[in-house]
Every structure is written in C-alpha cells, then in structure tokens.
C-alpha cells in the first residue's frame, strides 16, 4: 500500500542574506506519526518549520496538505489548515493570563461579548484530557517554563490543530517534565495527530519518534526508521563524522580557593522565604564543581547572587581573596568572573547588536578595543570576533556583521560560551552551558570545560542534566529548597542516589 502523507514539503529552498538556510529540502509527514527533525545548530530546522507555519515564504518548492498543494502565506492560514507550532523561544504575552493567551485570536463572542466561561471550560477539558496541568488565571510572567510550554501546547489543541510542530520543546524542561511531555506526544499521536519534533537529544528521539529526518548545513541528508537505527548512526548522519558521546577526562588536581561563599542568602521573587538560604561552599582552581538539583530549588537565584544580577540579603562572597558581596556586575567581571547565564536571550546577548559587538560586551572598554578618545576600534573588534567565530565554530549568515537575533538558538549559545571562555577569568560560572547545542558542539564544549579546569580555572557548573553532572564534574553539591543538602563524588555515586538528594528524601550536613 502506498503511504499516505498528511504534509509534504517538496524541494523547499529558503535563503537569508549570506546563507541558504534550506537548500532543496523534501520532508514528508505521515498521519499519526511522530517525526523527528535532527541537525546541527544552524542546519535549518527552525527555518523549515517556520516555512511550514507560514512565518517565512520559501523561494522555491511547494507544500501539500493531504495531497493538495497549499500556499501558507501566514500563520493564520497555517492555523486554518490545522497546523500549530510551539516555538523554540516561546511566543506568549507575558502580562496576560494563561487562559487569555490560549484564546488570543480565536475568542468566542456572542453579540460582541467575550464568552470566557465557555473558553475556560474547553481549556480545562483539554488540560484534563491530556494531562497538561496549568493554572488558567496565573500570569505568564509568573509561571515556570514548563507551564508556559503546556500553555503553548494547549493553544494548539484549543485551535483543533492536528499537525503539531514542537521546536526543541525539551531544551528548557526538567527531566520529569520531559518524561511527561514524551507521554503527551505519544498520546496525541495515538489519537491520530501528526507531530514534527525537533530535538538534539538522541535518547528522546530514540524513545518517542517513529522516523527521523536529518539536515546538515541546509541540506537534506536522509530519513530513517527509528527501529532500524542507533544513536551512533544518527549522530554520524548529522555531523558527518563519529562523535564521542561520553566525556573522557583525567583526575582533577585542585589548587587554591578561588570562590568562597559563606552563609549567602538571596531573596525570592515568587514567595516571602529566601530562595537561597545560608549557603556556604568553595570552588578551587583545577576543579569543576557542579550544583545539581531539580529546577526551581534556588539554583537560579544562587547564580544571580554570585553574578550580581540580584543583591544578596545575607552572607558574603569572596573571589580570589577579594570581597565582592556588594560589587557591581562589571567589577565582578573584571575581577575574574565569567558567566554563561541561564537565559541566553535575557542576560547573555543584546539581540539587536552585531555578533562582533556581542563578542566584546564585557571588554569593549579595554584599550585593545577602545582608543583614548572613547572610540571603538572596529578593526580590532572584528579581527578578534573572527578568531572566536573560527575557534568555536559559530555559524551565521554574515559573520561578524550578523545581527544576533537572526542567528539560530544553538549558535547564539556558542557565541556566549566563546566570549565567556576567552575573556580573562579565574572563575567560570556556567549555567546549562550545553542547552540547545547539538551533540558535536556538546562534545566540544565539554572538552573545553575540562581544558579550562586543567589550565587552573575554577569552574562552577549548574546543570539539570544528570548525564552531564555525572560525567563532567569533579564534585557535586545538591541543592534542595534553597539549601545545599549533600556533597557527592561523581565517581562514587549514581543517578538513584543523586535523585534521593534532589528530591529531598536524603540529606546530610555539608562541611566547608
Ligand atoms: N530571520 C533570519 N534572518 C537571517 N538569517 C536567518 C534568519 N533565521 C535563520 N537564519 C539563518 O539560517 C540558518 C539556519 O537557522 P535555523 O534557525 O533554521 O537553524 P536550526 O537548525 O534551527 O539551529 P538550532 O539547532 O541552533 O536552533 C542560520 O545560519 C541562521 O543564521
Ligand atoms: Mg532552531
């Protein structure tokens, strides 16, 4: 029997200044399947999905829905065709409630009056049916990313979409939220909905997808059945070489203390208690200390306190023998602190600046980049930016002149990592550094972290990924409800024991 395709994207070509983001790509989606889309950072995945969703118009190629050619010139048309999309960076109205976001644009009215009660009933029904827990009256700006994502999914279901595009939905979720999402996607597919799923995590693709299509540098490489493939084959297809999926490193040789934190407390924005409560720990030269924990246990605020994004309300922070408890962000940076922040768009980049300017954000005032009159030395800045772009393989359409907003998510991340690792520092605070990176880039970044350690830097890694925590760190501190509740040796522990500490089921006093 011939396969029935609900969506066919045939010979799609989409160009941006300086780059062919999609070069003659053909992708076919079967009804009721979960189809993964895999490719390196900048391979063209988000672009292809944006063409299907009507955000971009392809220069060449056609799209068919159930065998008939359609012209999707804007997202409303996509919606009418039953196509919905959860974007890599969510598109919710922050100051609206969850319910208002879901119904925005498809409000039911009667004699011009909004019928909210009925909308609420439908939303709650959907929420119940698919296990998508949300608080309909909470403001989006106050809820976790997990709930924001459930809101986005409900938005699609509320519109009765039956072709669902998920652009890296798991990059911002906690492990248990990821398990939930996998289950939700399976249920949706069982009901006959067709799903396109972008992820860099090969485990997820192996678990949930029926088929997987691979893109590389804008080109279509192939489509495989998941049951006939392996993670190794997928990564080879994607990167074009074998990738080492495990990290290899030698013994740590810790030296003098670089960061010393004593009884530090940081207030919470969400409740009256402190988010970080009397935390004390040290990080020494030549070691990678990892803060592990379930998202929302104070890790974010801990880093805000250390980096100066939030004031601390008690205790002290010492960097290389200097008290920086009240220092400005700039002075912490020039005193030797590098910081790869959790939210790359909010705290890591100026999206409307060029890539070159973003790469010197912490250093543009140095004599190397600015002359005595206060003018920037564009030539030096560009030369330096080009070095970093080469070394860290930051891909974009127009090199140093690219506006960062137009870069792919993973390449935005690589730009921040390049800047923070290359700037002079004694301490590197890396929060989820590999979030959204492809396996090849993760391999490179993990090697860089270890190289930095071996060159005598102190590294504080904050990660939600147990795999990363266990393979990269030399010492693990577990945070639970704002406190450090355990110190573990990665060589002697395992996921289960770590899980006990992370869930608060076990704790011990930690000495510093
Ligand atoms: N609006 C735009 N303007 C200019 N260039 C763009 C635009 N959107 C994407 N690009 C370029 O197209 C290429 C493909 O980007 P895309 O976002 O599709 O990659 P991706 O596969 O989703 O990568 P990632 O895994 O990092 O999210 C990138 O080089 C990017 O710089
Ligand atoms: Mg993308």
pLDDT, tens digit, 9 for 90 and up, residues 292-316: 998 889 999 999 999 999 999 999 9
Answer for the pair 368, 380: CB distance below 8 angstroms, yes or no.
Answer: yes
Tokens of 362: 């912490």
- 401 and 428 both lie in a single domain: no
- 198 and 62 both lie in a single domain: yes
Report the CATH number that the domain containing residue 508 is assigned in CATH: 3.40.50.300
For residue 419, being part of any structural domain is answered with no
- 248 and 235 both lie in a single domain: no
pLDDT of residue 436: 86
- 49 and 182 both lie in a single domain: yes
Mean pLDDT, range 158-171, rounded to an integer:
91
The C-alpha atoms of residue 225 and residue 206 are separated, in whole angstroms, by 10
Q: 């973003």: which residue's tokens?
A: 358
- 227 and 278 both lie in a single domain: no
* Sequence-separated (6 or more) residues with CB below 8 Å from residue 372: none
477 lines ligand 1 (CB under 6 A): no
List the one residue out of 369, 356, 365, 436 whose CA is nearest residue 404. Answer: 356
For residue 158, being part of any structural domain is answered with yes
Instruction: Identify the domain boundary among 366, 385, 414.
Output: 414
Write out the residue range of the structural domain in which residue 382 sits: 345-414
* Lowest-pLDDT choice from 138-142, 172-176, 287-291, 441-445: 172-176
Express as a percent the part of the chain with pLDDT over 70: 100
| DSSP characters over 164-223 | EEEESTTTTS-HHHHHHHHHHHHHHHHTT-EEEEE-S-HHHHHHH-SEEEEEETTEEEEE
| DSSP characters over 287-352 | EEEEEE--TTSSHHHHHHHHHTSS--SEEEEEETTEE-TT--HHHHHHTTEEEE-S-IIIII--TT
The C-alpha atoms of residue 458 and residue 463 are separated, in whole angstroms, by 16
**Which protein residue's CA is at the shortest distance from atom 6 of ligand 1?**
406
- 200 and 93 both lie in a single domain: yes
| DSSP characters over 86-128 | E-SS----TTSBHHHHHHTTS--EETTEE-HHHHHHHHHHHHH
List the one residue out of 32, 77, 85 whose CA is nearest residue 198. Answer: 85
Ligand nearest to the CA of 404: 1
**How many CA atoms lie less than 13 Å away from 40 in the CB half-sphere?**
26
* Lowest-pLDDT choice from 49-53, 226-230, 464-468: 464-468
- Give the confidence band of 2 by pLDDT, cuts at 50, 70, 90: low
43 lines ligand 1 (CB under 6 A): yes
Sheet containing strand 314-319, edge to edge, reads: 274-284, 257-267, 314-319, 322-323
Question: Rounded to the nearest whole angstrom, what is the distance from the C-alpha of residue 30 to the centroid of ligand 2?
Answer: 22
The C-alpha atoms of residue 293 and residue 415 are separated, in whole angstroms, by 26
| Cα 435–Cα 177–Cα 90 angle in degrees, nearest 5 | 60
- 430 and 318 both lie in a single domain: yes
Round the average pLDDT of the chain to a whole number and report it.
93
Question: Rounded to the nearest whole angstrom, what is the distance from the C-alpha of residue 408 to the centroid of ligand 2?
Answer: 5
| Cα 297–Cα 166–Cα 191 angle in degrees, nearest 5 | 110
pTM of the model as a whole: 0.86
- 201 and 252 both lie in a single domain: no
Instruction: Identify the domain boundary among 354, 380, 414.
Output: 414
For residue 141, being part of any structural domain is answered with yes
Question: Rounded to the nearest whole angstrom, what is the distance from the C-alpha of residue 355 to the centroid of ligand 1?
Answer: 14
Question: Rounded to the nearest whole angstrom, what is the distance from the C-alpha of residue 107 to the centroid of ligand 1?
Answer: 33
- 232 and 249 both lie in a single domain: no
Each residue of 227-245: pLDDT tens digit?
Answer: 999 999 999 999 888 877 7
pLDDT of residue 37: 97
Mean pLDDT, range 369-396, rounded to an integer:
96
Q: What are phi and psi of 17, to 5 degrees?
A: -50, 120
Each residue of 249-271: pLDDT tens digit?
Answer: 899 999 999 999 999 999 987 77
For residue 445, being part of any structural domain is answered with yes
For residue 255, being part of any structural domain is answered with yes
87 lines ligand 1 (CB under 6 A): no
Residue 1 has pLDDT above 60, yes or no: no
Q: What are phi and psi of 427, to 5 degrees?
A: -125, 130
Q: How many structural domains comprise the chain?
A: 3
For residue 23, being part of any structural domain is answered with yes
- 463 and 506 both lie in a single domain: yes
pLDDT of residue 383: 98
Tokens of 196: 């396109």
Mutate to test the pocket of ligand 1, among 18, 22, 42 (most ligand atoms within 8 A of CB): 42
Q: What are phi and psi of 455, to 5 degrees?
A: -90, 5
Cβ-in-10-Å burial (0-12, 13-18, 19+) of 206 comes to middle
- 144 and 177 both lie in a single domain: yes
For residue 331, being part of any structural domain is answered with yes
Tokens of 183: 């289950």
* Lowest-pLDDT choice from 253-257, 425-429, 508-512: 508-512
* Sequence-separated (6 or more) residues with CB below 8 Å from residue 125: none
Ligand nearest to the CA of 88: 2
Instruction: Identify the domain boundary among 239, 271, 290.
Output: 239
């Amino acid at each position: 029997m011939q396969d029935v395709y609900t969506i066919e994207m045939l010979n799609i070509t989409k160009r941006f200044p300086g780059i062919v983001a999609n070069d003659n790509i053909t992708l076919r989606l079967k009804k009721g399947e979960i189809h993964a889309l895999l490719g390196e950072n900048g391979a063209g995945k988000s672009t292809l999905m944006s063409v299907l969703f009507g955000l971009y118009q392809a220069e060449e190629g056609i799209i068919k829905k159930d065998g008939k050619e359609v012209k999707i010139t804007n997202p409303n048309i996509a919606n009418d065709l039953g196509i919905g999309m959860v974007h890599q960076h969510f598109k919710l109205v922050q100051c609206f409630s969850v319910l208002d976001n879901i119904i925005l644009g498809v409000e039911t009215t009667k004699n011009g009056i909004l019928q909210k009660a009925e909308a609420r009933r439908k939303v709650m029904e959907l929420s119940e049916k698919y296990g998508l827990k949300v608080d309909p009256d909470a403001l989006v700006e106050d809820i976790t990313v997990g709930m924001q994502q459930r809101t986005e999914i409900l938005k699609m279901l509320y519109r009765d979409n039956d072709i669902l595009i998920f652009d890296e939905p798991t990059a911002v979720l906690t492990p248990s939220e990821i398990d939930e999402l996998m289950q939700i996607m399976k249920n949706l597919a069982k009901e006959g909905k067709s799903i396109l799923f972008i992820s860099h995590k090969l485990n997820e693709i192996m678990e949930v997808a029926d088929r997987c299509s691979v893109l590389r540098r804008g080109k279509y490489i192939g489509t495989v059945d998941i049951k006939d493939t392996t993670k190794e084959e997928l990564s080879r297809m994607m990167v074009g070489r074998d990738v080492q999926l495990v990290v290899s490193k030698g013994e740590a040789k810790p030296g003098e203390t670089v960061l010393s934190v004593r009884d530090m407390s940081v207030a919470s924005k969400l409740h009256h208690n402190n988010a970080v409560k009397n935390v004390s720990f040290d990080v020494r030269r030549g070691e990678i200390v990892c803060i592990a924990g379930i998202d929302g246990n104070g890790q974010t605020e801990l880093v805000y306190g250390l980096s100066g994004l939030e004031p601390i309300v008690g205790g002290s922070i010492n960097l290389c023998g200097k008290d920086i408890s009240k220092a400005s962000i700039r002075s912490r940076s020039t005193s030797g602190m590098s910081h790869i922040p959790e939210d790359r768009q909010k705290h890591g980049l100026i999206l409307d600046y060029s890539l070159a300017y973003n790469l010197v954000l912490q250093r543009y005032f140095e004599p190397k980049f600015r002359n005595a009159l206060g003018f920037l030395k564009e030539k030096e800045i560009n030369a330096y930016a080009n070095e970093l772009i080469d070394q860290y393989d930051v891909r974009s359409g127009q090199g140093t002149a690219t506006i960062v907003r137009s870069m792919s998510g993973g390449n935005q991340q690589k730009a921040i990592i390049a800047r923070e690792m290359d700037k002079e520092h004694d301490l590197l605070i890396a929060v989820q550094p590999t979030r959204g990176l492809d396996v090849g880039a993760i391999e490179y970044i993990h090697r860089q972290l270890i190289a930095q350690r071996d060159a005598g830097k102190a590294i504080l890694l904050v990660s939600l990924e147990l795999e990363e925590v266990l393979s990269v760190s030399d010492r693990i501190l577990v945070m639970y409800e704002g406190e450090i509740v355990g110190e573990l040796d990665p060589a002697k522990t395992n996921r289960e024991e770590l899980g006990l500490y992370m869930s608060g089921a076990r704790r011990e006093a930690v000495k510093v």
